[in-house]
Structures are given as structure tokens and as C-alpha cells.
Structure 1
Amino acid sequence: MPDLPPLLLSRDRILHGLTPNELAKRVRAGALVRIRHGVYTNGVAWRALKPWEQYRLRVQAAAETFEKPTVFARRSAASVWGIPTIGQHHPVEALTLKNDGGRSRAGVSRHFAAPAGLSLVRREGILVTDRIRTVLDLAAFIPFTEAVAPLDHVLRPDGARRLPAVTKAELEAGIGSIYGAAAGRRMRAAIAFADPASGSAGESLSRALIHLAGFEAPVLQHQISDAAGLVGYMDFYWKRSKVVGEFDGEEKYVKPEYLKGKTASQAVVMEKKRENRIRALGINVVRWDWADLMQAGTLERMLAAAGVPRRRTRSAVTDAQTPH
């Protein structure tokens, strides 16, 4: 994640030589953006951030304004750890150690957590639940389709943050007696399904939707070669129906580590040539993006039209009815 723009707290405005009227004037002009009550940041920098980066800054803003130490959890802890989550416009989430059902105020959703066995870490100046507790909480309390991406992520080493991979055994051990029986079943089902071979949050969400729609499980990162050599590694491959599935995230055409010195237009042309080589082998290619994943039923219709086989009817019904 790039460096986030600095925050300006209204209580410190006098240090910057600003009056309340000047603050308000800069907000109206777009030079400043009000993130939460009493917290502002540079408007141009804010608008250049991705939604998940804006969310991370909102967590930082909340931490700056609370007088008492606050433990951030679930999606907010995930944002600090660099663990991807699905969706936008989530509230900032923190813990309360008082068993009063939790409460939400000042734009922060509070969740009860018993203090016994609660492992906390101070990271980037913010107090958060540890990585295992963070992804387990997500698996326990958000839908299965959204819980897969965080679990897939922690099963891989995070080289950018120098964090080791977490094992499924460690995740299972972390469940302990903290959660109820129903939450435990949801977590174990998500852990069993999680796979470090998923290359991105979009691939993880795709795989979860594919599973719930009752399709056969695809092979992940399948290598395809032709007479000219290696064509590439496919996100999803169904051997029986000879279908390749490719998730097109914006990273493929924007991030330098994916472009490898090419322009975005060059990357698009190379991707098209790659797809032509795959089709020349008699393999059908289905491509989808975030918009397709966010529209209920779209991915299922695309894969069904391409001839991707379903699991046995009985097993498909059973899996689809699993609580999530």
C-alpha cells in the first residue's frame, strides 16, 4: 500500500494557522476532505486513493480521535494487516470488552470480545487483533463468499510485509472455545475450502461463487503449453470440459509488477495473443471482472454457457445449503 496522506485534526488547526472558517472554506473548495468529525486530509490525495486505501485512512482517523486505547478488529484489523476483504463502504470496526451486545457510535461498529485469550498487536501505531484472530473473526461473522479471500491470503507468505504464511492447523487451533458452535462450523468450512493457490482476492471470490453455484472444482494455476512453449498459468481450468476461466483484475493492466515494463495497451495486446493460443488448442476461454462478480448470477450464467460441468446434483444442493 502506498504512503497514506497525513491527517489534519481540527484540534491542531491552530498549529497550522487555520481558523474554523478557513477549514470550512478549504473543504468547500475540495482542498481538504473531512474523513470523520474533526479529521481532515488533502482532497487531491484522498481522491487518488483506491477505496480500500481510503478505508485504511478512515481507520487511522478513528484511532487518532479516540482518547482511550481502542482495539480494531475484523475488516479494520484486516486493512492494517494488508489482508484483502470484499466490498466497499464498510464501517470501521472495533472491539468492546463489555458484554452489552456491542454498539455503534461515531461511525464505528463495536463488537463484543471476551478478554480471555485475546491476542493483540500494535501495528503501524494501531492496536489490532492478531492475524489469526482477524481472519477467524471474519470467517465467523461474514458470508462464506467474502471470508475466503482473507483466508487464502494468510495461507501465503506476505513478502511485501515480511509476514510468514499461516497454516490451516494454526487456524483450526485458533478457534478454540472462543466461538459458538454455529460460528465454529462456518469457520471450519471456510478453512477447509481456503487455498493459497488463489492469486488474488478476485480469484478467491470467484472460486467461492463457483463452489456455491455447484460447479465442479477447477484446477488452480494450471500450466498450458503449445508447440511454441509455455502459454501461461490459468487462473481456473476444467479439464473435462476443456474450459479456462480468467479473472481480469485491474492489477493486470495497471500495476508495474504485472506490466513488467510494458504499457497498459501492450499488456492488453499480449493478453489477447495469449488467449488466441489457448483457443487454438481447442480450449474455451471465459473471462470476467469485478463487475461480473458483483452482479448476482452473472458468473454462474457465463460458466454454464461455456459448458463448465456441475457436481452431482445431491452434493451441489448440500454444499449450497451450507450456512454461510
Structure 2
Amino acid sequence: MAIELLPSDADSPMRHRLDPTLHRIRRGAYVDRAAYEATPVHDRHELQVRAVAAARPAAVFARESALALARLPHGRPANVFTIGAPTASGRRGGVVASREAIGDDDIVLEDGIARCAPAFALAHLARVGKQADAVGALYAALRLQLVTKDQVADALGRQGPRGRRRAEWVIAFADPLSQSVGESWSRVAIHRIGAPPPRLQVRIVTRLGVRFPDFLWERAGMRPLGGEFDGAAKYGVIADANGVQPVDAVIEEKRRDDALREHIDTLHWMWAEAQRPERLRDMLSRHHLPVLSRLLPGW
């Protein structure tokens, strides 16, 4: 992250607070406002972590905060997380400190900041964090080949018993065939509504080339149903990859989707459905997939 933190001193706090070109990250830490507003919301947690690191140079960052420093998906945590300081456990000033012990082999030091290694942070998040965040983070780490499932399971064995069964479920469920965090969130939603597990990235040859729907279900006596997660950035990514304007990418993607519909039925959804499983349940039910009347528990 290219934004530079600007610490305040005894003479500058009021001046910094009144400066409209600066944005306050936390007490005593400011950044350029324009650069901050240009930073995607899901990347801003790293700034919080680096501001805490500047004030607490001995801290070891954990969970979502460690993943943010490792440039892995981490949700949108409301707090910064640290670990390994028995005298600093609890919540204070937006920092949640865990007294849980951590060995030197599970700590990475980068840019002068100590954090949990990815496998340890992923196991920790899977134990006590949000279900969809944990699956999305592990999917990305697997896809980037930063960890293996065995390494995360080994790291889990070096942690406390709380949430162990939840973490084991995350490790088994995460799949690097997912193409995005949104698809991983969608898979968790599909699980929670009790729909049949879909096949991922199935190859389908159309008149306009090969397509790989995000999800595919077989339906007795009907055409297969394809599912597509359309995140807000999808068409911008397609445009960048093909060197065209976003509007042209939308038109071309519509043409390719029409060609795909000659082989299967297709259903599209966005973050609103991935984050609210009951909405996705209604959509899939209308397309004749069996679902549960109540959501399976999430955490």
C-alpha cells in the first residue's frame, strides 16, 4: 500500500486535525485524504494496522490484521488484532489483543512489522472469525499457493481448542477452484440454504468459445443451471484483460452469456445475494433447486 502515514507530534495534532487534505486513521496517525479516498474500502484495514504498528512496535498482528499485511482477503474487521502479549489481553482503543501463545516459527517479520504467518492466521480466523471471511481468505491463499490445507491444519494444531471444529470445516470446504472472494462467499451461502453443492468452473464449449460458469447444477428432467457471481469489479477486470472500455466488455460478456444460454440456463447474482443467503435461496428455489426453509447456522 503506497499511502504514507504521517505521525503527529506535540505541536501538530490540532494542525493535522484541521488540515482538510489529511485523513485521521487513528490517534496520532494521518494520511493524505485524496490517497485514502482512492484506496478500496477492503484495503483500508492495512492502514489501521500500520498505524497501530507505529505506536506499538513490539506488537505481533493476528487474524484479519495479519492477512491484511500479507495482502490476502480479510473481510472488513472493525478492530485490529494482535497476539502473544499476556499483559495486554482484551480490547482497548480499537485493538483486540489475544494472550494466546505463538512460537517464533509462526511469526513473519516484514517491513519492521511482526505478524502471524499465513497458515497460522488463517487457522486462527477459521476458529474464531466470520465463516465466509475465513473461507474467502483460505481460498485466496490456496489459489496463490501461499499455503496448503495440510499446513493450515498443522497450524491449527498449535492453537487452542476454541472453535476447532469450525476451523476444520473451513479447511475442508475452501476450494481454490473458486475465482474470487465473492464466489467463496456464494458457496457458503449455497451451503447455508441447503442447496445441492454445485460443480465449479465446468468447461462448456459454445459457438463463441469456451465458457466456465462459476457454478453448475444438474436438474432432473431439465437443462443444467449455471450460476454466476457478478462483483462490481468484474467488467472492469474483463476490460483491462482485453484492452477495451468497460461498456464494450459488458456488451461482449452479454454476447458470450447469450451463447452459453444455448446450452444451459444461467442465473446471475451480486454481493447482496452472497451476503444475504435468504435472497439467494429464493432465487435458486424459483429455478427449481431444492433448498431448506431455514438457513443452516452461520458464524
* Fold conserved between structures, TM > 0.5: yes
Partners in 2 of 1:115 and 1:170 — Cα distance? Answer: 16
Whether 2:274 is the aligned partner of 1:293: answer yes
Whether 2:90 is the aligned partner of 1:103: answer yes
SS of the counterpart of 2:273?
helix
How much has 1:179 moved relative to structure 2? 2.2
How much has 1:154 moved relative to structure 2? 1.5
Distance 1:117 1:61, change over 3 A: closer
- Note if contact 1:145-1:208 (Cα within 8 Å) is conserved in structure 2: yes
- Note if contact 1:251-1:258 (Cα within 8 Å) is conserved in structure 2: no
Partners in 1 of 2:15 and 2:236 — Cα distance? Answer: 37
Q: Which amino acid aligns with 2:7?
A: L
Give CA deviations for 1:165-224 in whole Å, capped at 9, x if unaligned: 4222222222225221x5221111111111110111110010011011111111111111
Whether 2:32 is the aligned partner of 1:42: answer yes
Whether 2:177 is the aligned partner of 1:197: answer yes
SS of the counterpart of 1:69?
coil
Which residue in 2 is equivalent to 1:133? 120
Which residue in 1 is equivalent to 2:152? 171
Which residue in 1 is equivalent to 2:55? 65
Which residue in 1 is equivalent to 2:252? 270
Give CA deviations for 1:290-309 in whole Å, capped at 9, x if unaligned: 12223351111111112224
- Note if contact 2:239-2:249 (Cα within 8 Å) is conserved in structure 1: no
SS of the counterpart of 1:255?
helix
- Note if contact 1:259-1:267 (Cα within 8 Å) is conserved in structure 2: no
How much has 1:256 moved relative to structure 2? 6.9
**Correspondence for 2:7 among 6, 9, 14:** 9
How much has 1:244 moved relative to structure 2? 0.7
- Note if contact 1:221-1:236 (Cα within 8 Å) is conserved in structure 2: yes
Which residue in 2 is equivalent to 1:78? 67
Partners in 1 of 2:239 and 2:72 — Cα distance? Answer: 19
Partners in 2 of 1:300 and 1:265 — Cα distance? Answer: 30
Which residue in 1 is equivalent to 2:81? 93
SS of the counterpart of 2:115?
strand
Which residue in 2 is equivalent to 1:320? 296
**Correspondence for 1:153 among 132, 136, 140:** 140
Q: Which moved more, 1:148-157 or 1:110-119?
A: 110-119
Which residue in 1 is equivalent to 2:191? 211
SS of the counterpart of 2:44?
helix
Matches within 5 A, 1:235-314: 235-240=214-219, 242-255=224-237, 258-281=240-263, 283-310=264-291
Q: Which amino acid aligns with 1:146?
A: D
Identical positions, percent: 31
Cα RMSD, aligned residues only: 2.5
SS of the counterpart of 1:90?
coil
Partners in 2 of 1:292 and 1:38 — Cα distance? Answer: 39
How much has 1:22 moved relative to structure 2? 3.1
- Note if contact 1:97-1:115 (Cα within 8 Å) is conserved in structure 2: no
- Note if contact 1:231-1:274 (Cα within 8 Å) is conserved in structure 2: no
Distance 1:252 1:207, change over 3 A: same
Distance 1:213 1:22, change over 3 A: same
Q: Provide the TM-score with structure 2 as the length reference.
A: 0.90
Q: Provide the TM-score with structure 1 as the length reference.
A: 0.83
- Note if contact 2:211-2:260 (Cα within 8 Å) is conserved in structure 1: no
